[in-house]
Amino acid sequence: MGLRENAAKAAGREVAAEEPRETAVDVASNLTEPDLGDLTKDAESASAVIAWSRVMGEVRAIAKNEKFEGGRAGRFNFRGIETALNSFGPACRKHGVLVIQHRVETEYRDISTSSGGKMRECTALVTFRIYGPDGSFFESQAAGEASDSGGRSTPKAQSIALRTLLINNGLVPTEDRDADAVHFERAENPVRPAVSYVDEVCDPRTSAGRLRQIHHELKSMRQLGALVTNEVGDEEAIGDLVVRLGKERAAGGAE
């Protein structure tokens, strides 16, 4: 009988039976994107930062589905400018966001290909302004680099800069497997046994400097007290052996 029932009995009244309470159960998160609700609310008065965050809520992932076949340059998957525009364009129009190229700083150089051809390389640092529905904006920079033999290196570099801006500022995941999903432990390096140093330590050609290094190695492996057979056949701690022979060779002028 609990405190509530005892108090009621002392007062001469009965206690109505309580309905059984539901037990709270913690449900594990399922890693799905949360429901962000209506992202167009207050759209006309949203600032650039708020509007851009709503665009980010629309563009959840862009997979690396485009393939580059470059022969000796390699093969890889990537996300091109068309894919980025097809993902961000509708979301930006929906939330009244403008991505305007504001300033372009370019550098050029002529390069030679392995086949002897000539190409023009362009590096472009582009400053973009991202406007919101309320007229406010913030600036962001992105760089692009491209080469071409027909005068198209500049627009190519600007397109790469735009793709970089959209994907980086949108924090767009690739749908690739998390690189940290698989864990491994690095195996420990095997400890070199003390006895394996004996021949080198006893060799008259081993310098005093090398003996000091060996002493440091043995100390780091906590093996200075390991017993070995010395140069005259007696048992001796290898640390003492190294020190003794090191002093002898140093006294004899060996470095």
Between CA 90 and CA 83 the distance in angstroms is 12
Please tell me the number of Cα atoms within 13 Å of 151 on its side-chain side.
Answer: 0
Chain segment 208-224, per-residue pLDDT in tens: 888 888 998 898 888 89
Chain segment 122-147, per-residue pLDDT in tens: 999 999 999 999 999 999 999 999 99
Chain segment 61-82, per-residue pLDDT in tens: 888 877 777 666 567 777 888 9
Task: Give the per-residue pLDDT at 103.
Answer: 96
Considering the entire predicted model, what is its pTM? Answer: 0.53
Task: Give the per-residue pLDDT at 53.
Answer: 93
Between CA 244 and CA 238 the distance in angstroms is 10
